[in-house]
């Protein structure tokens, strides 16, 4: 059995809220941060963790939401620069063990150089899925 | 010097004006196409319309030949991303405004060479000016570890017509310069202080009120 983790999710969009629900069902301590009250109230139904209303690009918000006690921070807002900023802050200011950032644009990773931050690219994942799907239905497509 | 200025509107225009005048090579990058056109019309500098947190925006210039990038965006996240990318691309120094005072630590930790917190500067100046309006100017050194102030002497000042030694100003302050009839005088202990002298005093911030009192007398 895996250890129980203290996880912060920054951004309560579709991805953030789905992750929050899944991770809280897995018996982790989950806090989700967003500046949009509506986005946060939407997820409360099936979510057993904490919600924190505030601007995650302000260090005091992250402290108030408990980042200092987190083992894992997932930066999944809809803004690449906000994800990069919060990931860098989690790593460099708060020494969070594992940090993951979602990025729409691969070229922006240069700003993360030198930091142990895991990146996830939704567009690349979609392309891979499409590629195998097209292969299955017999449409030729380059690797 | 070769300078890249990113974002900002009025601040950017003023900086362009200052730097372009001094024979520097200036490039301006901004997302707003209308503002880019305006700047292009007014100054003879290279203007790039685009998002400076993306590397391809720098493809038409050679960033490694630039000495400074100045980031003036209203979002701290954007400024950090832009400065870090610029460093990766070889720009030598980065300067950025810090919009949210509590993010200052992040700018330092993430290697931004000169973070400038505008709110911090303004609040220091307002605070220091609140108790006396006759302090002309205040400059804070190394984030408020020391301050420089300029105080004019009037005929009620207890130190007028005394020498600097006789004036017995508080310790931890020093009169570095006197502006007299528009000329700068570097004072020594025997220099006599006159009415209408402007004293440029460097002091520790915690005794600045005491210094003002000693120079101007009780208000």
User: pLDDT tens digits, residue range B70-99?
Assistant: 999 999 999 999 999 999 999 999 999 999
- The total of structural domains in chain A comes to 1
Which domain-ending residue is among B85, B117, B149? B117
State the CATH number of the domain containing residue B201. Answer: 3.30.70.1450
Lowest-pLDDT range of A1-5, A84-88, A123-127, B39-43: A1-5
* Strand order from edge to edge, sheet including B25-30: B46-49, B25-30, B2-6, B68-71, B93-98, B114-117
The answer to whether position A141 is within a domain reads no
Q: Is B123 on the interface with A (CB under 8 A)?
A: no
List of chain A residues whose C-beta atoms are within 8 Å of the C-beta of residue B108: none
Would you say residue B133 has pLDDT above 80? no
Shortest alpha-carbon distance between residue A140 and chain B (Å): 31
Complex ipTM: 0.89
List of chain A residues whose C-beta atoms are within 8 Å of the C-beta of residue B84: 88, 110-113
The answer to whether position A97 is within a domain reads yes
Task: Please give the backbone phi and psi of residue B11, each rounded to the nearest 5 degrees, phi first.
Answer: -60, -45
- The total of structural domains in chain B comes to 2
Which pLDDT score is estimated for A135? 87
Which pLDDT score is estimated for A138? 83
| Same domain flag for B96 and B142 | no
- At A142, the pLDDT band (50, 70, 90 cuts) reads low
List of chain A residues whose C-beta atoms are within 8 Å of the C-beta of residue B53: 80-81, 108, 111
- At A90, the pLDDT band (50, 70, 90 cuts) reads very high
- At B192, the pLDDT band (50, 70, 90 cuts) reads very high
State the CATH number of the domain containing residue A56. Answer: 3.40.50.720
CB contact under 8 A, A81 and B55: no
CB contact under 8 A, B54 and A92: no
Which domain-ending residue is among B117, B148, B164? B117
The answer to whether position B61 is within a domain reads yes
CB contact under 8 A, B75 and A88: no
Q: What is the residue range of A18's domain?
A: 6-136
Annotate A13-73 with three-state secondary structure.
CHHHHHHHHHHHHCCCEEEEEECCHHHHHHHHHHCCCEEEECCCCCHHHHHHCCHHHCCEE
Percent share of chain B, pLDDT over 90? 57
Q: What is the residue range of B42's domain?
A: 2-117
Which domain-ending residue is among B76, B94, B117? B117
| Same domain flag for B113 and B137 | no
Shortest alpha-carbon distance between residue A77 and chain B (Å): 12
């Amino acid at each position: 059995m895996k250890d129980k983790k203290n996880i912060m999710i920054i951004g309560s969009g579709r991805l953030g809220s789905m992750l929050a629900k899944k991770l809280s069902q897995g018996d982790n301590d989950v806090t989700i941060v967003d500046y949009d009250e509506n986005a946060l109230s939407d997820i409360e139904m099936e979510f057993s963790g904490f919600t924190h209303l505030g601007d995650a690009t302000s260090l005091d918000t992250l402290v108030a939401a408990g980042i200092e006690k987190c083992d894992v921070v997932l930066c999944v807002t809809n803004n690449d620069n906000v994800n990069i900023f919060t990931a860098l802050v989690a790593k460099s200011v708060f020494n969070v063990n594992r940090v993951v950032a979602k990025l729409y644009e691969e070229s922006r990773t240069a700003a993360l150089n030198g930091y142990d931050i895991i990146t996830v690219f939704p567009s690349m994942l979609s392309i891979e899925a499409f590629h195998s799907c097209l292969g299955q239905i017999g449409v030729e497509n380059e690797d | 010097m070769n300078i890249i200025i990113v974002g900002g509107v009025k601040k950017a225009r003023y900086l362009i004006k200052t730097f372009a005048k001094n024979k520097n090579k200036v490039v301006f990058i901004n997302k707003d196409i209308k503002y880019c056109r305006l700047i292009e019309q007014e100054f003879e500098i290279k203007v790039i319309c685009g998002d400076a947190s993306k590397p391809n925006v720098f493809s038409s210039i050679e960033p490694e030949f630039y000495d400074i990038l100045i980031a003036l965006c209203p979002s701290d996240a954007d400024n950090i991303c832009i400065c870090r990318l610029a460093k990766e691309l070889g720009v030598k120094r980065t300067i950025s405004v810090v919009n949210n005072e509590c993010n200052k630590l992040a700018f330092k930790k993430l290697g931004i060479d000169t973070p400038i917190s505008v709110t911090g500067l303004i609040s220091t100046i307002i605070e220091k000016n609140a108790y006396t309006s006759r302090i002309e100017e205040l400059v804070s050194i190394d984030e408020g570890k020391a301050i420089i102030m300029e105080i004019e002497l009037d005929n009620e000042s207890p130190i007028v017509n005394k020498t600097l030694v006789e004036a017995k100003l508080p310790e931890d302050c020093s009169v570095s310069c006197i502006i007299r009839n528009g000329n700068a005088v570097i004072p020594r202990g025997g220099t006599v202080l006159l009415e209408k002298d402007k004293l440029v005093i460097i002091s520790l911030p915690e005794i600045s009120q005491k210094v003002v009192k000693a120079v101007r007398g009780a208000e």
